[in-house]
């Protein structure tokens, strides 16, 4: 959309310039001479003003040495999905010449342990930290305390909208749910009648509740669907596999499994490899390697991606732009949007997601085209919906 917008503006400007040029050909010689004389004076004044403004902005930012300053990204769990976030964060550090940067994660999805890792990074003297605020309310105090100490704190993947975070890079769960619901309704390979089991790996988590609300809002428009759930599917690959095993045993007539977490499609892929008589459609979020393999093999139906690489790269890059390069602080929200993956386009995503060089180049082009300069292109955080 952005490319089209700027292309349109460019065409309009070109037409205006051409019109001025043609009309100028007929202007009297003394008018042309006067315009030629005035133009350099105006340009010089504008240039001087712009230079002064840039110098004032740079002077207002106390930059740090990328070779000595410390930075960190604190993940909420270490799984293949968050590996993309980790790569993005580390690549941002490399691109900006950062020497001292850590990406850490708790041993399991444990908010208390994650907060402990965060406070340890604060104690080490980090000047900028990004994190995944999976349980948003629990992060308000730690984030605010860090910001009050002068640390820039950004979030990726999950926001802490009521905290003093500067920037959030990630999806809206509700918008994600709407997108997945529409993909289900429009896909010829998803049943349009029958029993659906809907799961959430952590009911009560705002972004996941947003997903289930959004998808149910769309699917409930079809009176031929019977929706069971959302049911708690557990916070680990093992728990999620057991959940779907039990769900199928209790509902052998189910026509579709709809998850809300990165655990679902890999678990469903393994389940259907072992249970070849299970023919229900499988739909959920995130482009895990097993999710893409399952779609490629026809065992899974739809995956909804959310750009985790960007959720690692951009929060850190925005900090580096400010503290290392002296550019304005980026505040607000970047929404990477949804990517719907089916058997028709899965090969494109396999190439990008499983080849780190292709991933880097694709996202670099995306950021250069759509997000930069960061501080001019963020949405207000007031537009965020969990």
Q: Is the pLDDT of residue 175 over 50?
A: yes
pLDDT of 57 reads 45
Residues with Cβ within 8 Å of 204's Cβ and at least 6 positions away in sequence, in order, are none
> Quick one: average pLDDT of 218-224?
98
Give the chain's end-to-end CA distance (angstroms, integer).
23
The answer to whether residue 197 scores a pLDDT higher than 60 is yes
> Would you say 185 and 258 are in contact if contact means Cβ atoms under 8 Å apart?
no
Peptide bond into 293 cis (omega under 30): no
Distance CA 253, CA 266 (A): 21
pLDDT band at 16 (very low <50, low <70, confident <90, very high): very low
Residue 54: per-residue pLDDT: 42
Q: Could you report the per-residue pLDDT of 94-126, keeping only the tens digit for each? A: 999 999 999 999 988 999 999 999 999 999 999
DSSP string, 104-127: E--SSS-HHHHHHHHHHHHHHT-S
pLDDT at position 61 is 73
Give the span between the Cα atoms of 31 and 277, in whole angstroms. Answer: 85
Q: What average pLDDT does this structure show over 301-330?
A: 98
Give tens-digit pLDDT for 137-168: 999 999 999 999 999 999 999 999 999 999 99
Name the helix (H) or strand (E) containing 240.
helix 237-250
Widest Cα–Cα separation across the chain: 90
Contact 338, 171 (CB under 8 A): yes
Cβ neighbour number for residue 328 with a 10 Å cutoff: 15
Helix axes 206-219 and 173-186, enclosed angle (nearest 10): 30
CA 206/CA 227 separation, integer angstroms:
21
> Cα(41)–Cα(317) distance, rounded to whole angstroms?
38
In the predicted model, is pLDDT for residue 342 greater than 70? yes
How far apart CA 311 and CA 316 sit, in angstroms, is 9
Residue 58: the pLDDT is: 44
Burial of 300 (0-12, 13-18, 19+ CB in 10 A): buried
pLDDT at 13 over 70: no
pLDDT tens digit string along 28-67?
333 333 333 333 344 444 444 444 444 444 445 789 999 9
Sign of CA dihedral 94, 100, 106, 111: negative
Instruction: Supply the mean pLDDT for the chain.
Output: 87
Q: Are residues 284 and 261 in contact, defined by beta-carbon separation less than 8 angstroms?
A: yes
Q: From residue 121, give the alpha-carbon distance in Å to each of 38, 146, 151, 324.
A: 57, 10, 11, 19
Sketch out the chain's domains with CATH numbers: 70-171+308-335+356-383 (3.40.50.2300), 173-305 (3.40.50.2300)
Q: What is the pLDDT of residue 60?
A: 59
């Amino acid at each position: 959309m952005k490319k089209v917008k700027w292309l349109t503006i460019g065409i309009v400007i070109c037409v205006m310039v051409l019109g001025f040029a043609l009309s100028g050909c007929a202007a009297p010689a003394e008018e042309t001479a006067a315009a030629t004389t005035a133009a350099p004076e105006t340009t010089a004044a504008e240039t001087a003003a712009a230079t002064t403004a840039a110098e004032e902005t740079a002077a207002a930012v106390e930059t740090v040495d990328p070779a000595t300053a410390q930075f960190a990204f604190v993940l909420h769990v270490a799984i293949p999905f968050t590996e993309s976030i980790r790569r993005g964060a580390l690549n941002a550090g490399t691109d900006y010449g950062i020497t001292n940067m850590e990406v850490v994660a708790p041993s399991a999805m444990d908010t208390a342990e994650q907060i402990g890792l965060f406070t340890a990074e604060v104690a080490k003297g980090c000047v900028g930290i990004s994190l995944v605020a999976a349980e948003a309310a629990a992060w308000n105090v730690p984030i605010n305390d860090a910001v009050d100490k002068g640390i820039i704190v950004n979030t990726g993947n999950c926001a802490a909208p009521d905290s003093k975070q500067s920037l959030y890079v990630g999806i809206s769960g509700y918008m994600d749910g709407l997108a997945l619901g529409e993909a289900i309704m429009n896909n010829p390979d998803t049943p349009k009648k029958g029993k659906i089991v809907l799961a959430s790996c952590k009911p009560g988590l705002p972004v996941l509740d947003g997903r289930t609300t959004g998808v149910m809002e769309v699917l409930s428009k079809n009176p031929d669907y019977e929706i069971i759930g959302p049911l708690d599917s557990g916070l680990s690959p093992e728990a999620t596999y057991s959940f779907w095993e039990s769900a199928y045993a209790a509902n052998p007539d189910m026509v579709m499994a709809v998850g809300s977490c990165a655990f679902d499609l890999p678990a469903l892929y393994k389940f259907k490899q072992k249970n070849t008589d299970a023919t229900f459609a499988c739909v959920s979020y995130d482009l895990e390697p097993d999710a893409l393999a399952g779609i490629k093999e026809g065992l899974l139906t739809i995956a909804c991606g959310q750009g985790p690489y960007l959720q690692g790269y951009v929060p850190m890059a925005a900090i580096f732009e400010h503290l290392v390069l002296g550019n304005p602080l980026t505040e607000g929200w970047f929404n990477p949007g949804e990517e719907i993956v089916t058997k028709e386009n899965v090969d494109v995503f396999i190439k990008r997601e499983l080849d780190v060089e292709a991933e880097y180049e694709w996202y670099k082009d995306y950021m250069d085209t759509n997000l930069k300069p960061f501080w001019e292109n963020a949405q207000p955080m007031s537009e965020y919906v969990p």
